[in-house]
């Protein structure tokens, strides 16, 4: 069944489900104040439709530029049904059903990551999830530093500023991952409380050597926080022998020995925005969230999620959508989400292999997940000229008769020099970047390469 027809069918069932549920209660009359003018609606809907047409086609494999794709139809149905009810997962008073669903999906995420014991919850974003992880880090090690690599998401520096934590940014190793030797030197002084590691950097999709970082915890007693907002779901492949080589398995398996993890179901978990998650391996950190609420926590003596969260009101619909998705597409390597992730990984490998074999493009590095970085190749051009050419390809692709949506990645001079595939000593530069996070990309590689070749030819320097 085509996806749009499936969405239509499933959303109709969601609406019917809620209507039947509402019909089980005593009849009442809607207040006339909620009525609206139908003609006014039609005019507003027409303008709304025109504006919506300006969106980029996130659903299409020709959109290969950013970490964006629509939610799975099953997630849409679950979200819509819960949205019409509109539960609030802050307390069991506001979300008795969806709060339990949230606890179940968080437990499933913990099992996926092989964490021994967890306390956690969903958040509205990965940013808020990382904020909570750093909040706990500050409370457990007051006055201590948080160390992260220059490949880490900018949110860590921002959240440290917000929390009043001293942030230390270290450089990268030769492979573009956090320099653990530099981290160790900082830890020797006894001032470090937490080290942030990245499993799937947003720029290049790289995974820090988490397995090696475990030695820092053993040697210096520091906490390890893993920002797996982008790459967390690839853990499904790392724990299966049949998927050996698809992802850096040792690094992923080491997440189980870390203190906190952030993962974003609204990326590879097929969910609508916003749905992040934070998980702690020690449930005792829940005491750090303790607070009083004089009017909410009364319907049950069970744990209310607001008692272990910095956020208050949170959409129960996010939990409902994720719960239904995990039931239909389980967290397993051989079925459900596993084959979807494997298809994305194969797409990146195939795409990079094709680019590496093409004279007209230069592959910067082998992808570790599903993000590929590359640029047009011409030995006689400078780094600045190659950056301008990459930008021309990006712009031309967006306005072509058959558009191709890419993105650019800014590389600092040291990072660009370290790659060894660019003209040296010319400052920072920009390269092309493709995120192949839709399984359909695996079936679209020939078209992607053909369109790229056409765009390269059309935008080549000196072309009229």
Q: Please write the tens of the pLDDT for every residue from 194-204.
A: 999 999 999 99
User: CA angle, 333 as apex, 176 and 271 as ends, to 5°?
Assistant: 75
Spatial CA neighbour of 345 closest among 233, 254, 448 = 233
Spatial CA neighbour of 136 closest among 252, 229, 224, 232 = 224
User: Please, what are the domains in the chain?
Assistant: 81-292+299-328 (3.40.640.10), 337-459 (3.90.1150.170)
**What are the residues facing 373 on neighbouring strands?**
433
Decide if 222 contacts 195 (C-beta within 8 A): yes
- Grouping H, G, I as helix, E, B as strand and the rest as coil, residue 54 is coil
Residue 100's pLDDT is: 96
**What are the residues facing 122 on neighbouring strands?**
277
Q: Please write the tens of the pLDDT for every residue from 12-42.
A: 999 999 999 999 999 999 999 999 999 999 9
Q: How far apart are the C-alpha atoms of 265 and 122, rounded to whole Å? A: 9
pTM more than 0.85: yes
Q: How far apart are the C-alpha atoms of 243 and 326, rounded to whole Å? A: 21
User: Hey, what's the torsion of the CAs at 350, 267, 199, 175, to 10 degrees?
Assistant: 40
Rounded-to-5 percentages of helix, strand, coil across the chain: 45, 15, 40
Spatial CA neighbour of 378 closest among 397, 393, 399 = 393
Alpha helices (H) along 400-441: 413-419
Residue 299's pLDDT is: 67
Residue with tokens 């679209």: 444
Instruction: Please give the mean pLDDT across all residues of the chain.
Output: 93
Q: What are phi and psi of 228, to 5 degrees?
A: -110, 30
Residue 300's pLDDT is: 67
Largest CA distance in the chain: 78
Residue 431's pLDDT is: 95
Mean per-residue pLDDT, 64-92: 95
Q: Please write the tens of the pLDDT for every residue from 349-388.
A: 999 999 999 889 999 999 999 999 999 988 888 888 999 9
Residue 245's pLDDT is: 75
């Amino acid at each position: 069944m085509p996806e749009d027809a499936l969405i239509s069918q499933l959303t109709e069932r969601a609406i019917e489900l809620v209507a039947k549920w509402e019909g089980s209660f005593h009849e009442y009359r809607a207040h006339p104040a909620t009525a609206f003018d139908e003609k006014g609606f039609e005019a507003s809907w027409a303008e709304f439709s025109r504006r919506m047409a300006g969106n980029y086609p996130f659903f299409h494999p020709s959109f290969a530029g950013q970490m964006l794709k629509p939610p799975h139809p099953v997630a849409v149905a679950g979200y819509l049904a819960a949205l019409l009810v509109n539960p609030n997962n802050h307390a069991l008073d506001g979300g008795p059903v969806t709060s339990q669903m949230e606890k179940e999906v968080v437990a499933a995420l913990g099992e996926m990551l092989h964490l021994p014991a967890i306390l956690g919850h969903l958040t509205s974003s990965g940013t808020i999830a990382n904020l909570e992880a750093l909040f706990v880090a500050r409370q457990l090690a007051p006055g201590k530093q948080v160390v992260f690599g220059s490949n880490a998401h900018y949110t860590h520096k921002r959240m440290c500023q917000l929390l009043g934590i001293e942030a230390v940014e270290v450089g990268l190793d030769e492979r573009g991952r956090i320099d653990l030797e530099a981290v160790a030197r900082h830890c020797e002084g006894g001032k470090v409380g937490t080290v942030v590691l990245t499993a799937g950097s947003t720029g290049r999709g790289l995974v820090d050597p988490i397995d090696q970082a475990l030695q820092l915890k053993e040697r210096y007693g520091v906490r390890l926080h893993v920002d797996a907002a982008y790459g967390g779901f690839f853990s499904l492949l790392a724990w299966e022998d049949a998927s050996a080589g698809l992802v850096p398995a040792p690094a992923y398996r080491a997440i189980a020995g870390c203190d906190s993890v952030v993962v974003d179901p609204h990326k590879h978990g097929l969910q609508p925005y916003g749905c992040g998650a934070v998980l702690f391996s020690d449930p005792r950190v829940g005491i750090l969230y303790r607070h009083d609420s004089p009017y909410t926590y009364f319907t049950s003596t069970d744990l209310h999620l607001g008692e272990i969260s910095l956020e208050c009101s949170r959409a129960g619909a996010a939990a409902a959508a994720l719960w239904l998705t995990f039931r239909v597409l389980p967290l397993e390597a051989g079925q459900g989400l596993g084959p979807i992730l494997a298809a994305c990984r194969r797409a990146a490998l195939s795409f990079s292999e094709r680019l590496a074999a093409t004279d007209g493009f230069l592959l910067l590095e082998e992808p570790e997940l599903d993000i590929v970085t590359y640029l047009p190749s011409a030995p006689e051009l400078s780094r600045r000229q190659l950056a301008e050419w990459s930008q021309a390809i990006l712009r031309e692709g967006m306005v072509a008769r058959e558009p191709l949506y890419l993105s650019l990645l800014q590389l600092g001079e040291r990072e660009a020099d370290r790659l060894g595939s660019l003209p040296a000593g010319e400052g920072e530069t920009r390269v092309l970047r493709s995120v192949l996070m839709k399984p359909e990309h695996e079936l679209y590689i020939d078209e992607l390469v053909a369109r790229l070749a056409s765009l390269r030819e059309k935008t080549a320097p000196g072309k009229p």
